[in-house]
Amino acid sequence: MTLATDDRIALSDLVSRYALYADHCDDGRTSDLVWHCRYTDAYRLDAGTWRIARREQRIDAIETRPVHRHRPHPLR
């Protein structure tokens, strides 16, 4: 959808929702803490640019998994 900057849209009309999981490996890289998350973002038009006005994050589950193999750390 393309909108001109003078269009008036209610904030509640412009919402995005997405799901993801985030991996957090420990320093020894032996375990992986996994967050199963959902985000809901509401947007507002600010000087011709759409910006996030509100973000809600929900964590549906957290689990710990063993790491069987990994790549070497790129900064070491």
What confidence score (pLDDT) does residue 9 get? 54
Distances from the Cα of 54 to the Cα of 39, 41, 44, 59, 69, angstroms: 10, 6, 9, 17, 38
Q: What is the DSSP letter of 68?
A: -
Q: pLDDT tens for residues 4-62?
A: 445 555 544 688 999 999 988 877 778 889 999 999 999 988 888 888 999 999 999 99
Q: How much is the pTM?
A: 0.58
Radius of gyration of the CA atoms of the chain, in A? 19
Structural domain boundaries in the chain: 24-66
